Amino acid sequence: MPSLLDSISELSGVGPKREQALNKLGVFTIDDLLTYYPRRYNDLAQKLPSETLDGEKVTFKGLVTSPPVVSRLGFKKTRLNFRLTVSHDTIQISFFNQPWLSKNIVVGEEVAIYGTYNKAHQSLSAIKMMPKNNENELEAIYPSSKEIKAGTIKDLIFQALGKYGDLLTQEIIPSDIRRRYRLMNYHDTVFGMHAPENEFLAGEARRTASFMEFFVFQMRLQVIKQMDRHNQGRSVNFDNQQLKSFIKVLPFELTAAQKKVVNEIVRDMRRPVHMNRLLQGDVGSGKTVVAALAMYAAITAGMQATLMAPTEILAQQHARTIGNYFDPSEVRVEILTGTTKAAARRQILADLAEGDIDILIGTHALIQPDIAFHNLGLAVIDEQHRFGVQQRATLRKVGVNPDILAMTATPIPRTLAITAYGEMDVSIIDQLPAGRKKIKTYWLRHNKIAKAIQFVKEQLASGAQAYVVTPLIEESETLDVQNAQAVYEELSTYFAPKFNVGLLHGRLSNDEKDTVMTAFKANEFQVLVATTVIEVGVDVPNATVMLILDADRFGLSQLHQLRGRVGRGERQAYTFLVSDPKTQYGIDRMEAMVETTDGFVLAQKDLELRGAGDVLGNRQSGVPEFRVGDPIADLAMMNVAQEEAIEIVSQPDWDKSPEMVGLAEMLSETMNRYRNFD
Ligand code: ADP
Ligand code: MG
């Protein structure tokens, strides 16, 4: 019995080599192959020469206005020439090595020819004659790889459509939704995507396929959310009095926004359901202390808390900052990272299991099977955009399904949040601590760099410190480091003997990085030349200037993150973007940085400037990639998909309805993964 779950090796022409090549494209089963949709279509439909680009493949329909002439170009090589008048243009048509076609070319008759257009010569290098009446033929073009050509993929898909097409009967989108939004059934969608009869149907098939993709995605999020709610989460019964007294002894007054989110978080923690909350706040908005308060709340409830950071440096910094908030005789804070020595690690694990450690801070090293908490109440993830949905899910396995607080300083435009964080509740800190001065940002071209360096020198003379950031050069870490090294040497000479310069880059070991950062914090040197490893979170309040070299090599979000490293103290801070952008887009970005310090505004701008594809393709955005749909262009559709998904999961036993068999099956893996937490 043929089945959609059959391996693609069941198709004729698929041996081990092709199978491997397809596997690499994520295609394992017939089902995968049939949903391997074309990226676009070559419009075989006729066009006018004036609307055709040079080199474009096109079909011209017109009148034959000169008799066909066959010339020999050599042994067995021929060329068939004639003129075709298309509207007001006369096009020279050449067929190579198909002399027999000449009998079909009759002066005064209409023909349609498909080929590649050469605009300068007004000629068409013909590929084939087209049936005249089939005006809307679309040719599907598939994403391919070095190992397998688009044409081969297409042939296999058409073979599969023939052999397995009748099996496409399992609907995923419930019929009433399909009816309401005039969507196609699954069978017609798949056929319409691969072999559309015309442009309209191609569009409709794509609309349905996009909706289906969004709908399944939103169903997955809603299922996760729903299960969270039903999961016997743990009620973190914190002591409000203790929490209040702790807030009183903080070295600063919380901002109104911080108070609001602390309230939201601890209230959610107290509920007997699982918390899955995102804390969003621009750089410098003070998320760390909020996390510390949430962790303290867990401790007053007799539970433990953990915080996971994406890098060693950040974990170290958090351990210090958070450690400083607490009296060590009351709250024990430990750190566990990849560099923790074996003996120390053993001790930490033992104490953790005994409940002798209250807060464990670390990196990915926290997610290890042998790590067992005594009573974990809260897990915090810092800079969560560095971790995917998968890792977020993995963290839940630490301890017994603890409440989760994820933090991010990467503002996601509101239009994308629904996609990026749909499964989470969101708290936003939309205010910076009082007295924080706006960072002044200047953009200057390379030939003005001396001015900026002079300014840096003046700042140093007044007792401040400075960052000089060197960019990633074409993704090569070696060049990257060499470049940073060169800048470091130049500046060392320039600032000597009064000021010292340090160097930080990705090739240093974690210990070395930490030594450098600690020394910079202690003002042992005044200028830090660094690659983007300082990008997130590292805090040196005395640093007031940042010079970013070749700033146009960075994305807006990244520049914004970098800039957030200064202006963390009382003094006015400055950022200099040194760059000679070569495109309008580069200029626009520099100007956007100068104009605003609001991360949300910049994120939105980035989205507008780069377009959805780039922003979404960027894994750091935390937004999953979609194969068919465009969650920005089709935002309204995404919203509808979400509404429908919410409606469905609100029905008890929705997955038992016969209409939902296909959908439930698609989601079964997610459901099982989350059921295991019960
Ligand atoms: P981020 O949100 O970027 O992680 P941090 O938590 O590192 O920001 O806070 C940035 C700086 O602001 C830290 O030095 C912190 O001590 C300080 N800070 C946080 N909250 C306040 C506040 N309410 N008033 C004054 N300073 C604060
Ligand atoms: Mg932070």
Tell me the pLDDT tens digit for each residue of 485-515: 889 999 999 998 999 999 988 788 777 887 8
Q: Which residue has the tokens 């300014």?
A: 455
CA distance 238 to 563: 37
Q: Where in the chain is the domain with CATH 2.40.50.140?
A: 45-129
Q: Where in the chain is the domain with CATH 3.40.50.300?
A: 240-429, 440-596
> Which ligand sits closest to the CA of 280?
1
Closest CA to 140 of 7, 210, 36: 36
Contact yes or no for 351/359 (Cβ under 8 A): no
DSSP of 231-270: S--------HHHHHHHHHTSSSPPPHHHHHHHHHHHHHHH
- In three-state secondary structure terms, 555 is coil
Q: Which string of b and e fits 497-533 if b means at least 16 CB within 10 Å? A: eebbbbbbbeebebeebbebbeebbeeebbbbbbbbb
Instruction: Give distance in angstroms: CA of 252 to centre of ligand 2.
Output: 17
Instruction: Give distance in angstroms: CA of 537 to centre of ligand 2.
Output: 5
**Looking at residue 400, what is its pLDDT?**
61
Other CB atoms within a 10 A radius of the CB of residue 671 amount to 16
Instruction: Give distance in angstroms: CA of 569 to centre of ligand 2.
Output: 15
Long-range contacts of 76-84 (CB under 8 A, 24+ apart): 80/105, 84/60, 84/111, 84/113, 84/124
Average pLDDT over residues 603-626: 60
Nearest CA owner, ligand 1 atom 18: 286
- Phi, psi values for residue 620, rounded to 5°: -65, -20
Q: What is the CATH number of domain 240-429?
A: 3.40.50.300
DSSP of 531-547: -GGG-SS---TTEEEEE
Query: pTM for the complete prediction?
Result: 0.66
Confidence of residue 122 (pLDDT cuts 50, 70, 90): very high
Using DSSP bridges, classify how beta strands 359-362 and 304-308 pair: parallel, antiparallel or unpaired: parallel
CA distance 543 to 566: 6
**Looking at residue 351, what is its pLDDT?**
96
Other CB atoms within a 10 A radius of the CB of residue 243 amount to 18
Q: How many residues does the chain have?
A: 678
Average pLDDT over residues 16-26: 94
CATH T-level assignment (fold) for domain 45-129: OB fold (Dihydrolipoamide Acetyltransferase, E2P) (2.40.50)
Instruction: Give distance in angstroms: CA of 285 to centre of ligand 1.
Output: 6
Q: Which atom of ligand 1 is nearest to the CA of 258?
A: 23
Residue 155, token pair as written in the block: 């042939």
Average pLDDT over residues 73-98: 89
What residues flank ligand 1, with Cβ below 6 Å?
A: 252-255, 258, 281, 283-289, 409, 433, 537, 539, 541, 568
| Lowest-confidence pick of 46-55, 225-234, 368-377 | 225-234
- In three-state secondary structure terms, 592 is helix
Treating both helix axes as pointing N-terminal to C-terminal, what angle do 16-24 and 150-164 enclose, rounded to 10 degrees? 100
> Which ligand sits closest to the CA of 288?
1
Most confidently predicted of 291-305, 360-374, 566-580: 291-305
CA distances from 455 to 66, 327, 567 (A): 75, 41, 16
**Looking at residue 365, what is its pLDDT?**
80
CA distance 473 to 280: 30
- In three-state secondary structure terms, 663 is helix
Q: Which string of b and e fits 361-387 if b means at least 16 CB within 10 Å? A: bbbbbbbeeebebbebbbbbbbbbbbb
Residue 540, token pair as written in the block: 């040196």
Q: Which atom of ligand 1 is nearest to the CA of 288?
A: 6
Q: Which residue has the tokens 């194969």?
A: 627
Average pLDDT over residues 70-95: 89
Confidence of residue 618 (pLDDT cuts 50, 70, 90): very low
Nearest CA owner, ligand 1 atom 19: 286
Other CB atoms within a 10 A radius of the CB of residue 583 amount to 9
Q: Which residues contact 199 (CB under 8 A, 6 or more apart)?
A: 41, 43, 45, 136, 138
- Phi, psi values for residue 646, rounded to 5°: -60, -45
3-state helix, strand, coil in the chain (%, to 5): 45, 20, 35
Q: Which residue has the tokens 């994403």?
A: 143
Helix ranges restricted to H, 25-107: 30-34
- Phi, psi values for residue 236, rounded to 5°: -95, 100
CATH class of 440-596: alpha beta
DSSP-assigned beta bridge partners for residue 502: 528
Residue whose CB lies within 8 A of the most ligand 1 atoms, among 285, 380, 436, 566, for a mutation test: 285
**Looking at residue 369, what is its pLDDT?**
79
Nearest CA owner, ligand 1 atom 10: 284
Q: Which residues contact 226 (CB under 8 A, 6 or more apart)?
A: 649
Using DSSP bridges, classify how beta strands 40-43 and 138-141 pair: parallel, antiparallel or unpaired: antiparallel
Largest CA distance in the chain: 100
Contact yes or no for 620/385 (Cβ under 8 A): yes
Confidence of residue 423 (pLDDT cuts 50, 70, 90): confident
Going through 209-348 in order, the beta strands assigned E by DSSP cover 276-281, 304-308, 333-336
- In three-state secondary structure terms, 85 is strand
**Looking at residue 619, what is its pLDDT?**
43
CA distance 496 to 503: 15
Higher-confidence position of 547 and 557 = 547
> Which ligand sits closest to the CA of 541?
1
CA distance 38 to 602: 33
- In three-state secondary structure terms, 666 is helix
Q: Which atom of ligand 1 is nearest to the CA of 429?
A: 2
Confidence of residue 194 (pLDDT cuts 50, 70, 90): very high
DSSP-assigned beta bridge partners for residue 376: 304
Q: Which atom of ligand 1 is nearest to the CA of 290?
A: 6
Would you call 663 exposed, middle or buried from its count of C-beta atoms within 10 A (0-12, 13-18, 19+)? buried
Residue whose CB lies within 8 A of the most ligand 1 atoms, among 250, 254, 384, 539, for a mutation test: 539
**Looking at residue 514, what is its pLDDT?**
76
Task: Give Rg (Cα) of the chain.
Answer: 31
